[in-house]
Structure 1
C-alpha cells in the first residue's frame, strides 16, 4: 500500500509539475507585464520540485589533467544483477595506480560521487561500483544482502587485478573493511594496497548522530514493519521487498528541512533576479540529490542490525557467511581514515575506530585526517575535497603503492 500510494502521489505531482512548467513559460512571455517574472519563478521552482527523476549520467567525457583537456570514456568491466563495475578510461592513465571507488548503497546513485571520481581521475585509473536500483532487478535474480555486498567487492577487486587501491565513501566503509580483512586472512593476491574510509560508520557508538539515534531508538522489528514495502507491478522488480529510496530521501530532507527550504527560496530569488547561473547550480544539486533508488529489504535490515544496533564489527562479532570477520587479520593493507569536523551523519571517531581495530597493522600503515570545517558531503565533493583531502589520498596511495 505504501509504494502504491507513493506512485499515485508521484503521478499527480508530475502532472502538476508539467502544468506549472507551462505556466512559467506563459508568464515569462513579453505580453505579460507586472508580476509576470515573480509568478513565473514560483511556478518554475515548483515544476523543478515535482519533476520526475531517473538515474543521472556521470557525464565525465572530458577532464583537465595538468592544464590540458583529456577525453574520458566509460566502460563496463563486470556486470552483476545488483551492480556493475564501471571503469573510466582516459588517455595517459597507463602506469597510474588503480583505484576502486566504492559508492554507498544508501538511496542515491553512484553519480553522487561524480566530483570524487573526476578529481581522482587526474592521478589514478578509476573504477567505481555502480549499484543498481533494486526495483529494476527481477525476483529471478535472487537476494542481495550485506554478505552479497562483500562478495561483490571481493569479486570486483579480483576483476581489477593485483596492486589496486580501494576508497570507501560513507556506508561502504564497513563492508570494505570486512572485505579487506577477509582477503587478508586468505592472502588474496588482489587485496587492496590501501583502503581509504571517508565518513564511515565503523563504530556508531562513537559520537552518535541523529542518523544513529534513529536506527537505535526502535527495535529491529519496527523497521521491517514500517519502512519495508513491496515493489508494485509495472517495474521489473515487481514483488521484491525493498526499502524505498523515496523514504530515505524524506528522512535526509527532514533532518535539515530548514536548509532545504532556504535553498529552494534562494533558487526562487535567483530566478526572479534573472541570475540563471546560480539557479542552475541549485537545480543541478537537487537533480542529483533527489534522484533516488531502492535497496533490497534484506540488505537494509541486515545493515541496521549489524552496523547500527549490534555494532558487530567493532565488537569482533561480525560474521560473513558463517565465518568471523577479524580486522586483526589485516597486516599489509594501509588504512587511511578521513572524517569531517562538522559531519552530522557519521560523527567524529566513528571512522577513526578502524585504525584501533587493526591490531596487527603497524603504525606507519595507519593514518587519520580530520578535515576542518567539512560536513559529510564536503569530505568527498567540493573545493575542500579537491584541494585539501584528495592530495592526502593520492599521497597515501603513492607511499604504499
Structure 2
C-alpha cells in the first residue's frame, strides 16, 4: 500500500512540477527583462527547488567517454560483458595497449546505483583495466527470474571472478566487503585456480561489534520481524517486477536523508541562495551531487533481510558461523576466511566514517589469520568520512595511489605508471598491517580515548 501511495503522491504533483518547470524556464530566459532582477531570480530559484525536491531521479549515466594517460586523451568504451537478471558486469574498455592491473570494483547493493562510484572508476581508469558490478533495480526484474539473496550475491561474485581469471584484483566499497571476503574465502577453501591476486575492502561492515554507528544500532535494536513488516513492500502491478517483495528506494532515501537532515536542508537553502545570487558554478555542483544522491533503486527483500540478519544482528562472519548455500548441490558450505593464503588484503577506513566506523573493516585481518604478514596492509585516512573514502580529493590524491601501489606490488608484470601521471598523484605505499597499531584492541583504545576527549570538552566550563 505504501508503494502505491508514494506513486500516487508523485503523480498528483506532476501538474505542479510541470508548472514549476515552466516558471523556471520563463524567469531564466535572458529575453525576459524580469530574469535580470532580484525578484525574477528568486521566482526562478523557488521553482527549481520545488521541481527538484518533488522529482524522481532515474539511473544516471556513467559519462566516462575518455581518460588521460601520460598527458594523452584515450577513448573509453562502456561494454556489457555479462548480463544477468540482477546485475550487469560492465567493462570500461580503453583504447590503449597498456598492460595494467585488471580490477573488479564490487559496487554496493544498498540503495544507490553503481554510478555513485563514478569518481572511483574515473580515478582508476588511467592505470587500471576496470570492471564494475552494475546492480539492477529490483522493481525492473520480473518475478519469474526468482529471488536474489546474499548467497546469490556471493555466487555472482564467484562467477565474475572465474570469468575474469586469476590475474584480477577486487575492490569492495562499503556493504560488499562481507560478500567479497566470503567469496574469496570459499574460493580459497576450494583451492579455486581463479582466486584473485588481491582484495581491497573499503569502509565495510566486516565486524560491526567493534565500533557502533547509528546504522548498526538501528539494525541491532529492532527484531528482524520489524524490518520485514515495516520496510518491505510489494512492487505494484504496473512495473516489470510486479509483486516482487522489495526494500523500496524511496524508503532508503528517506533513511539516508534523516541521518543528516540538517546538513541536507542547509545544502538546499544554500542552493537557493546560489541561484538567487547567480552563482552558477556552486549551483551546478549541488545539482550534480544530488542528481546522483537522489537516484535510488529498490533492493530485493531477501537480500536485504538476510544481510541484516547475517551481518548486523548475528555477526556470523566474524563469529566463524557464516555459511553459503551452494546453488548446485543446495548444501550449506562453511565460510572460512582462515583458508585465505593466496589473495593479498588491503583494508581502508575513514577516521570520520559514520556508516562503517573505524575497526569494522580492519577486523578482516584477524579473520584471515593464515594470510602471510607480507600480504596484509591497512590505511586509515584522516579527516575523511564514508563518502570521501571512494570519492573526492582525498580519494584521488591519497587513497587511490596507495591502492595502485598495492595492486602493482602483487602484479609485477604490469606496465609502470607514467612519470607525468605520478606528478599529479605520487606513488605512495600503504602501511603494512600492524596488529598493535591497527588491530581491534588498538581501535578500541582509540575509541575510548576519543569518547573521553569528547566528554571532557562537554564537561569543561564555558568561558563567560
Q: Please classify the TM superposition score into its range, dividing by the shorter chain length.
A: over 0.9
| Residue 132 (1) aligns with residue 142 (2) | no
TM-superposition CA deviations, 1:199-254 (whole Å, max 9, x none): 00000111110000111111011000110000001110000000001111100100
Q: Which structure would you say has the larger Rg?
A: 2
Alpha-carbon distance, 1:301 to partner: 0.2
Which structure 2 residues correspond to residues 102-117 of structure 1 after superposition, within 5 A?
A: 102-117=106-121
TM-superposition CA deviations, 1:100-137 (whole Å, max 9, x none): 00000000000000000111111110000010000000
Asked if the contact 2:161–2:168 (Cα under 8 Å) also holds between the matched residues in 1, the reply is yes
Alignment match, 2:443 = none
Distance 2:358 2:14 in 1: 40
Which structure 2 residues correspond to residues 17-56 of structure 1 after superposition, within 5 A?
A: 17-29=17-29, 30-32=32-34, 35-56=39-60
Which of 337, 344, 351 in structure 1 is aligned with 2:361? 351
Alignment match, 2:246 = 242
Distance 1:205 1:273, change over 3 A: same
Which structure 2 residues correspond to residues 1-400 of structure 1 after superposition, within 5 A?
A: 1-29=1-29, 30-32=32-34, 35-92=39-96, 94-321=98-325, 322-400=332-410
Partner SS for 2:201: strand
What TM-score results when the alignment is normalised by the length of structure 1?
Answer: 0.98
Asked if the contact 1:48–1:283 (Cα under 8 Å) also holds between the matched residues in 2, the reply is no
Distance 1:163 1:341 in 2: 32
Alpha-carbon distance, 1:92 to partner: 2.0
Greater shift, 26-35 or 205-214, is seen at 26-35
Alpha-carbon distance, 1:94 to partner: 3.8
Distance 2:248 2:10 in 1: 13
TM-superposition CA deviations, 1:165-186 (whole Å, max 9, x none): 0000000000000001001111
Asked if the contact 1:78–1:159 (Cα under 8 Å) also holds between the matched residues in 2, the reply is no
Alpha-carbon distance, 1:354 to partner: 0.3
Alpha-carbon distance, 1:93 to partner: 5.0
Distance 2:64 2:38 in 1: 42
Distance 1:315 1:15 in 2: 54
Distance 2:303 2:218 in 1: 17
Distance 1:278 1:93 in 2: 39
Greater shift, 175-184 or 42-51, is seen at 42-51
Alpha-carbon distance, 1:80 to partner: 0.5
Distance 1:34 1:123 in 2: 48
Asked if the contact 1:228–1:241 (Cα under 8 Å) also holds between the matched residues in 2, the reply is yes
Alpha-carbon distance, 1:277 to partner: 1.6
Distance 1:333 1:312 in 2: 22
Partner SS for 1:292: coil
The alignment of Structure 1 onto Structure 2 pairs a total of residues equal to 401
Distance 1:276 1:312 in 2: 49
Distance 2:346 2:261 in 1: 33
Asked if the contact 1:340–1:375 (Cα under 8 Å) also holds between the matched residues in 2, the reply is yes
Alpha-carbon distance, 1:34 to partner: 5.5
Greater shift, 87-96 or 331-340, is seen at 87-96
Distance 2:319 2:38 in 1: 66
TM-superposition CA deviations, 1:335-370 (whole Å, max 9, x none): 100000000100100000001110111111111110
Distance 1:179 1:82 in 2: 18
Q: What value does the CA root-mean-square deviation take over the aligned residues?
A: 1.1
Alignment match, 2:420 = none
Asked if the contact 1:17–1:50 (Cα under 8 Å) also holds between the matched residues in 2, the reply is yes
5+ residue gaps in structure 1?
A: none
Asked if the contact 1:98–1:126 (Cα under 8 Å) also holds between the matched residues in 2, the reply is yes
Asked if the contact 1:115–1:381 (Cα under 8 Å) also holds between the matched residues in 2, the reply is yes
Partner SS for 1:121: helix
Asked if the contact 2:154–2:182 (Cα under 8 Å) also holds between the matched residues in 1, the reply is yes
Asked if the contact 2:165–2:196 (Cα under 8 Å) also holds between the matched residues in 1, the reply is no
